[in-house]
């Protein structure tokens, strides 16, 4: 079932009219750029001479940035510390036009910071400043109250779980129950170590490593992929699972349907940082705009293809999506063909 040009126009025209709630681990991404000219005399490591820095939104904050870039309105809920990093996040939110009024401050933990050192367009090392223990009961209650105050105004909910302690099991169970009761589309970007807690969600978006780990079977073949995708779909009682496969594209598993495999749109891959954030944001925005699950997966694939061509976390606009989708339709990259393992798009 290929994506027709008129549907590209309809879906991209509909993106930008919805409010989407994002709940998860908010981070600050710091990039230090430089060059290597020598090896340290103190240890056999390169010395990077830093000549520029860049601050970007990371984790759930990057999902919100992707939703905002598409034109939809993000309602971001997460936890930050009472520190300098949270102030830097506030400045970035204002710059991007993202409402951060639902964020909860917890003085007992620092704002999560990921620092990446880039030399000659290659990441040399990453340093993380964080505390990953679960939220205390008071802060968890504040987060839940923020969620309840916003969910009725939102067309969909995204849980962005990076395992930094915000998505506790009690909180997750309450969020899932609320979404099921109110028939709200709930998409989860999972943490592989707690995969089986995400039950009865509308969509879950693991990469192939996470999916294989969760199911206990490494994905080395199409047979493995089908077994893992269909197996997780049944175990989690989810409506759909989208397994991202890097250069191999994506595979969508839905209840009552064969798997749908979508070839990658990426022309060049420079940096996959934040690609999962773009995938889930563009998928959900497309669903809110009236796309079915297969159409939304194709749109998400196009979004990922745009962002991996840039260094650092990146976002994509509805106009970029439209151009990328139409380019691939013209080139014959979004055409259906049957296979024994499902449909290949």
Q: pLDDT per residue over 98-109, tens digit each?
A: 999 999 999 999
Q: Is 243 exposed, middle or buried (0-12, 13-18, 19+ CB in 10 A)?
A: buried
Share of the chain above pLDDT 90, in %: 77
Q: What is the pLDDT of residues 29-82, one digit of tens each?
A: 999 999 999 999 999 999 999 999 999 999 999 999 999 999 999 999 999 999
What gap in Å lies between CA 11 and CA 48, rounded to an integer?
45
pLDDT at 290: 96
CA nearest neighbour of 321 among 71, 70, 97, 73 = 70
Catalytic residue among 72, 277, 292, 340: 277
Q: Is the pLDDT of residue 301 over 70?
A: yes
Question: How far separated are the first and last CA of the chain, in Å rounded?
Answer: 8
What gap in Å lies between CA 114 and CA 99, rounded to an integer?
22
CA distance to 18, 188, 252, 279, 333, per residue, from 13 (Å): 12, 25, 24, 19, 22
- CATH number belonging to the domain at 5-27+59-108+132-338, selected among 1.10.10.10, 3.90.330.10, 3.60.70.12, 3.40.1190.20: 3.40.1190.20
The alpha-helical segments, DSSP class H, found in 84-136 are 84-96
pLDDT at 315: 81
Q: Is the pLDDT of residue 314 over 80?
A: no
- Comparing 265 with 174, which gets the higher pLDDT? 174
Q: What mean pLDDT do residues 188-195 have?
A: 88
Q: Is the pLDDT of residue 337 over 50?
A: no
Please, which pLDDT band fits residue 319 given cuts at 50, 70 and 90?
confident
Please, which pLDDT band fits residue 266 given cuts at 50, 70 and 90?
low
What gap in Å lies between CA 302 and CA 264, rounded to an integer?
8
Measure the CA dihedral 270/273/276/280, to 10°.
Answer: -100
Kindly state the helix (H) or strand (E) to which residue 187 belongs, with its residue range: strand 185-189
Asked if 51 is an active-site residue, the reply is no
Q: What mean pLDDT do residues 294-301 have?
A: 93
Q: What is the pLDDT of residues 19-39, one digit of tens each?
A: 999 999 999 999 999 999 999
Contacts 24+ apart (CB under 8 A), 244-251: 244/205, 244/206, 244/207, 244/208, 244/275, 244/276, 244/279, 244/304, 245/207, 245/208, 246/207, 246/208, 246/272, 248/208, 249/301, 250/279, 250/297, 250/300, 250/301, 250/304, 251/225, 251/342
Q: Is the pLDDT of residue 312 over 70?
A: no
Task: Map tokens 């199911």 to a residue.
Answer: 215
Q: What is the pLDDT of residues 194-239, one digit of tens each?
A: 889 999 999 999 999 999 999 999 999 999 999 999 999 999 999 9
Kindly state the helix (H) or strand (E) to which residue 303 belongs, with its residue range: helix 293-307
Please, which pLDDT band fits residue 342 given cuts at 50, 70 and 90?
low
CA distance to 71, 106, 241, 266, 280, per residue, from 207 (Å): 26, 31, 10, 16, 12
Q: Is the pLDDT of residue 268 over 90?
A: no
Tokens for 206, please give them: 């693991």
pLDDT at 327: 81
Q: Is the pLDDT of residue 269 over 70?
A: no
Q: Is 174 left (phi over 0), alpha (psi -120 to 50) or beta?
A: alpha
Please, which pLDDT band fits residue 308 given cuts at 50, 70 and 90?
low
Beta strands 73-77 and 156-160: pairing type? unpaired
Whole-model pTM? 0.91
Q: Is the pLDDT of residue 276 over 70?
A: yes
């Amino acid at each position: 079932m290929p994506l027709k040009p008129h549907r590209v126009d309809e879906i991209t025209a509909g993106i930008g009219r919805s409010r989407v709630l994002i709940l998860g681990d908010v981070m600050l991404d710091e990039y230090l750029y430089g060059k290597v000219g020598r090896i340290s005399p103190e240890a056999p490591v390169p010395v990077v001479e830093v000549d520029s820095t860049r601050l970007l939104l990371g984790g759930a904050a990057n999902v919100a940035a992707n939703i905002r870039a598409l034109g939809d309105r993000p309602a971001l809920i997460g936890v930050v510390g009472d520190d300098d990093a949270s102030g830097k996040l506030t400045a970035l939110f204002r710059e991007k036009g993202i409402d951060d009024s639902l964020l909860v401050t917890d003085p007992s933990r620092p704002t999560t910071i990921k620092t990446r050192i880039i030399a000659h367009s290659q990441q040399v090392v990453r340093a993380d400043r964080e505390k990953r223990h679960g939220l205390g009961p008071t802060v968890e209650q504040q987060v839940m109250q923020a969620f309840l105050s916003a969910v009725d105004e939102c067309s969909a909910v995204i849980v962005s779980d990076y395992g930094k302690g915000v998505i506790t099991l009690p909180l997750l169970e309450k969020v899932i129950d609320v979404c099921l009761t109110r028939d709200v589309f709930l998409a989860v970007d999972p943490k592989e170590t707690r995969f089986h807690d995400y039950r009865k969600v509308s969509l879950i978006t693991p990469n192939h490593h996470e999916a294989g780990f969760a199911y206990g079977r490494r994905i080395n073949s199409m047979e493995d992929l089908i077994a893992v995708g269909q197996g997780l779909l049944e175990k989690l009682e989810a409506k759909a699972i989208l397994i991202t496969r890097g250069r191999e594209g994506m595979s969508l598993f839905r209840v009552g349907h064969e798997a749908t495999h979508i070839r990658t749109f990426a022309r060049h891959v420079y940096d996959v940082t934040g690609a999962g954030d773009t995938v889930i944001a563009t998928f959900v925005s497309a669903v809110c705009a009236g796309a079915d699950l297969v159409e939304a997966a194709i749109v998400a694939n196009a979004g990922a293809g745009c962002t991996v061509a840039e260094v650092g976390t990146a976002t994509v606009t509805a106009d970029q999506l439209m151009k990328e989708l139409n380019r691939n339709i013209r080139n014959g990259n979004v055409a259906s063909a049957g296979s024994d393992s499902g449909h290949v798009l």
